[in-house]
Amino acid sequence: MLSQEQMARYQREGFLVLPGFKRADEIAALRARAMQMVHDFDPQTSKTIFTTNDQVRTIDRYFLDSATKSSCFFEEEAFDADGNLRQAKELSINKIGHAMHDLDPVFSAFSRGAALDAVAKGVGLEQPQIWQSMYIFKQPGIGGEVGWHQDATFFDSTPISVTTFWFALEDATLQNGCLWTQVGGHHGPLRERFVRHGDVVRKEPLDATAWPDSSTAVPLEVQAGTLVVFHGLLPHYSAPNRSPISRHAYTLHVTDARTAYAPTNWIQRGADFPVRGFV
Ligand code: FE2
């Protein structure tokens, strides 16, 4: 449960850092399951690369279908000019997404429970709905940059309620590409919206407010087991990982069922696969 001070801080700054939220054994179980998924993944089924810097080029059927699957995506720099992997498959995957929290028992157990529900309530999510899960590898050497963005771009609702639950599965440092954010930046406007019409997706500009620069951005260096919870309007980014150490993280994107989830959001759920909360 969050204290009054933590709740006030979240409202003021747009994020909370909660060290020691997950135990080492919980992290080990999730990491082992993710590695098994990568082991089982056949690279020939898709060479989809994920980069938020050039969404349009990389969007394809595999990406759209991953809304309700557990799909592996390669790092942008995973392949050489001849289309061959530069390093082992296990060191080439950018992420797994986007429905493991509902499809896989190990991921579901990590993604749910009374403690998470209490945090959700504390930051104002009375009726939390978990739309997306991502296991992010941030591989050593080739882990790509994720440029400045707001997660509400991808999970619009009226009013905006999307909240990100970001779990450090390894220590996140300046060297291996920790999160950077702008304290209080969630008080600003939504800059872009990612909309889907059928199988066509595009990013629409909404507001020309500049992204933060290095004078106002702050790094969130956190230890494994830390939960960072942040507002969907909070600008954040992470630098490339040029270090020899990976930076595994796991994220959930959650809205409040009391708000109207946009029918143009790229992830939709039908009655056959309903969106669920933390308990
Ligand atoms: Fe994000």
Is 96 within a domain?
A: yes
Q: Give pLDDT tens digits for 183-199.
A: 999 999 999 999 999 88
CA of 82 to the centre of ligand 1 (A): 31
Over the range 102-140, which residues count as b (16 or more CB within 10 Å of their CB) and which as e?
bebebbeebbbeeebbebbbbbebeebbbbbbbbbbbbb
CA of 220 to the centre of ligand 1 (A): 14
Assign 58 a pLDDT band (cuts: 50, 70, 90): very low
CA of 210 to the centre of ligand 1 (A): 17
CA of 163 to the centre of ligand 1 (A): 10
CA of 257 to the centre of ligand 1 (A): 21
**Arithmetic mean of pLDDT over the chain:** 93
* Contact yes or no for 66/50 (Cβ under 8 A): no
Q: Tell me which residue range forms the domain holding 110.
A: 4-261
pLDDT of residue 186: 98
Question: Can you tell me the distance from the alpha carbon of 61 to that of 110, in angstroms, rounded to the nearest whole number?
Answer: 28
Is 154 within a domain?
A: yes
Q: Give pLDDT tens digits for 90-129.
A: 999 999 999 999 999 999 999 999 999 999 999 999 999 9
Question: Can you tell me the distance from the alpha carbon of 238 to that of 147, in angstroms, rounded to the nearest whole number?
Answer: 7
Residue-wise DSSP of 228-263: EEEETT--EEE--B-SSS---EEEEEEEETTSEE-T
Is 268 within a domain?
A: no
215 or 140, greater pLDDT: 140
* Contact yes or no for 252/111 (Cβ under 8 A): yes
CA angle centred on 19, ends 151 and 22, rounded to 5°: 85
Is 210 within a domain?
A: yes
Characterise 161 by phi-psi region: left (phi > 0), alpha (psi -120 to 50), beta (else): alpha
CA of 150 to the centre of ligand 1 (A): 6
CA of 149 to the centre of ligand 1 (A): 6
Q: Give pLDDT tens digits for 145-196.
A: 999 999 999 999 999 999 999 999 999 999 999 999 999 999 999 999 999 9
Is 274 within a domain?
A: no
For the chain, the domain total comes to 1
CA of 267 to the centre of ligand 1 (A): 15
First to last CA, the chain: 15
77 or 159, greater pLDDT: 159
Q: Which amino acid type is present at position 160? A: I
Q: Domain holding 224: CATH number?
A: 2.60.120.620
Ion ligand 1 contact residues with beta carbon within 5 A: 151
CA of 206 to the centre of ligand 1 (A): 18
Question: Can you tell me the distance from the alpha carbon of 171 to that of 16, in angstroms, rounded to the nearest whole number?
Answer: 17
* Contact yes or no for 237/127 (Cβ under 8 A): no
This model's pTM is above 0.85: yes
| Short-list 22, 223, 252, CA closest to 120 | 252
Helix (H, G, I), strand (E, B) or coil at 187: helix
Structural element, H or E, at residue 165:
strand 163-168
CA of 116 to the centre of ligand 1 (A): 19
Average pLDDT estimate for 48-75: 75
Share of residues in the chain with pLDDT > 70 (%): 95
